[in-house]
Chain A
Amino acid sequence: MTAFEPGTFLAGLLSGLLAAIQDSPAVAPIAAGASAVRPDAVERGLRFLATAYSVVWTILGTYLVILSFRLRRVSRQVRRIRERLGL
């Protein structure tokens, strides 16, 4: 079994998400006067919104997981050395 690598996992996830929002360059930007209430614009907006929110929570979640892994590892290390020293 290969070890879990947060960096590789995050890179894969982000590239997948970016691939999902590859939209047609022919679609006009909203700032150029396209209506934001047209069904295709709403659908496109929702795709981008979902991607952005996924990115936010993925980054925060990954950081939290890495932090808790590091905390657990260092806590175990402290306990082991204390036992060795008889403290």
Chain B
Amino acid sequence: MRGARIPDERIPDDMMRPMWSRVLQITTLLAVPASLYMVFVVAPIEEKMGVIQKIFYFHVPSAFMAFLGVGLCAVMSVLYLVTRQRRWDLVAHAAAELGVVFCTIVLITGPIWARPVWGVWWTGEVRLTSTLVLWLIYVGYLLLRQNAENREQAARWAAITGIVGALDMPIIYKSVEWWRGLHPVVLKMSGGGGLDPVMGRAFAACVVTFTLLFLCLLVERVRLGRLEDEVESLEQQAARRPLTAATDAGGGSSR
């Protein structure tokens, strides 16, 4: 029936997702199998490492998304410290959480790739260690936010942690050039990126898919933050209401 809509029993209307968010989710759902097809069917098997090299297609985009999360958190934290607007803080918190999720993926898939190729799960070289440090800083950021009693103060301290933590990013990026180790320079900015063209296309598909996934999760995480804020403000309203009613009643009787 045209125009008739079954009301959602669980979620109020103003909490429903906007149309563009639905489009983003559907695009992501389509992009995931497409990128898997590119990786496992289209991309050739690398000569030296064999099939294990295919970890690259998710390991590196995950690292990009971890950087995106951390970078976004830092930028939003600066904006929050300058303007003190809650919305920037919400996005910074969401981006930091996603940064930790993707950094966790990097830190787990890296050793799984390293074991058959290098013969060790972990080495103490700078890129690996600085990535672990980044993860620890942002886990600390999340713990700080979770355990703080004063929200304003926590947001301020978290913003500073977010900005300071992001300073680790250039160290991670440049570490393989500054200190020679086992970890290769993943992508060269010149000379066609150092990848076979078909591999390059599969890699680009994975980067696009992971970016879409990141955006989807970011939108939902920011929405969660907004809803939590709404709960807090409604609870304050509810707590004030009986008091107001009592004051009104008291005021009425004194007249």
A residues adjacent to B (C-beta < 8 A) = 14, 21, 23, 27-32, 36-37, 41-42, 44-46, 48-49, 51-53, 55-56, 59-60, 63-64, 67-68, 70-72, 74-79, 81-82, 84-85, 87
Contacts A74-B224, A78-B15, A78-B231 given; does A48 touch B238 at CB 8 Å: no
The residue from A37, A64, A70 contacting B224, defined by CB atoms under 8 A apart: A70
Chain B interface residue count, CB cutoff 8 Å, equals 45
B135 at the interface (CB under 8 A from A): no
Chain B residues, Cβ within 8 Å of A53: 55, 58
Could you write out 23 A-B pairs with CB less than 8 Å apart? A14-B108, A21-B112, A29-B118, A29-B120, A30-B117, A36-B46, A36-B51, A42-B50, A42-B51, A49-B52, A49-B54, A52-B59, A53-B58, A64-B217, A68-B220, A71-B227, A74-B224, A74-B228, A74-B231, A78-B12, A78-B227, A81-B231, A81-B235
CB–CB B221/A48 < 8 A? no
Bits for B98-122, please: 1 = Cβ < 8 Å to A, else 0. Answer: 0001001100110011011111100
B10 within 8 A of A: yes
Closest 9 CB pairs of A and B: A36-B50, A29-B119, A45-B52, A81-B234, A74-B227, A45-B51, A52-B112, A52-B55, A52-B109
Q: Is the CB of B10 within 8 A of A28?
A: no
Report whether A21 and B224 are in contact in the complex, using a CB–CB cutoff of 8 Å. Answer: no
Provide the main secondary structure of the chain A interface: helix
Say how far B101's CB is from chain A's closest CB, in angstroms: 5
**Contact string against A for B residues 50-66, beta-carbon threshold 8 Å, 1 for contact and 0 otherwise:** 11101100110010000
Q: Which single member of B117, B120, B220, B230 contacts A67 (CB below 8 Å)?
A: B220
Pair B224/A30 contact, Cβ less than 8 Å: no
Besides A29-B120, A74-B228, A75-B227, 8 other A-B contacts (C-beta < 8 A): A29-B117, A45-B116, A49-B52, A67-B220, A68-B220, A74-B224, A75-B15, A79-B11
